[in-house]
A = this chain, B = another copy of it.
Amino acid sequence: MARKIGSHSEITGPRVRQAALTLFARHGYAAVSMRQIAAEVGVQAGALYNYTADKQALLFDLMQTHMKDLLVALDACSDTGNALRRLETFSRFHIRYHLDRPDLVFIAYMELRNLSDENFAAVEALRGRYEARLRDILTQGIDERAFSVPDVKVASMAIIAMLTGITTWYREEGRLSRAEVEEIYWQMVRKAVSA
């Protein structure tokens, strides 16, 4: 049999990535088959290979694109005031950005070990650049005598772990609004690094 209706190169590609994203987030990369992804898109398994070299490339594309977008978005909203102000901007940005993309965030943190060595290195480098932005802020805060942080590297990882953890429990229909969650976490971060 021929194609169903016509060609869909511009539309099927994004739908493949979207289906992979949803399924990887829900069941995990290793537990999802190419057939499941194809079924979600509404095509046969073979057709997927017009859009990705293989399953690994699908995962890598999702993670790399996410990390690059994250860095661009952070730089677009970063300001240049004092460290406390910059930390607040970073914290609120991180929470909002991650709550808006729970599936991407989940994959980016959970599927690192399913990347090939080469792909892992590329994603890890991008993660390092993101963390470095926070380390810069903490270092500035120490210079300004505004923060008291025993170890900048450890503190940056602790803060990111705390903030990212929100995505493991936050539900849109839950008790708290995004704004309330943002406020609660920002206050905890602020106090945790305070002098």
Contacts and interface: CB of A to CB of B under 8 A. Distances in A.
A185 interface: yes
A188 interface: yes
Interface string A100-134: 00000000001001100000000000000000000
Contacts of A30: 27-31
A157 interface: yes
A183 interface: yes
How often does this chain occur in the complex, in copies?
A: 2
Given A26-B113, A110-B110, A188-B192, A154 B168 contact: no
A176 B161 contact: no
A165 B176 contact: no
A115 to B, nearest CB: 12
B113 A150 contact: no
A110 B168 CA distance: 11
- Chain A, interface size: which category? 35 or more
B181 A154 contact: yes
A159 B154 CA distance: 15
A84 interface: no
A19 interface: no
A43 interface: no
Interface in A160-187: 160-162, 164-166, 168-169, 176, 181, 183-185, 187
Interface of A: 26-31, 110, 113-114, 150-151, 154-155, 157-162, 164-166, 168-169, 176, 181, 183-185, 187-189, 191-194
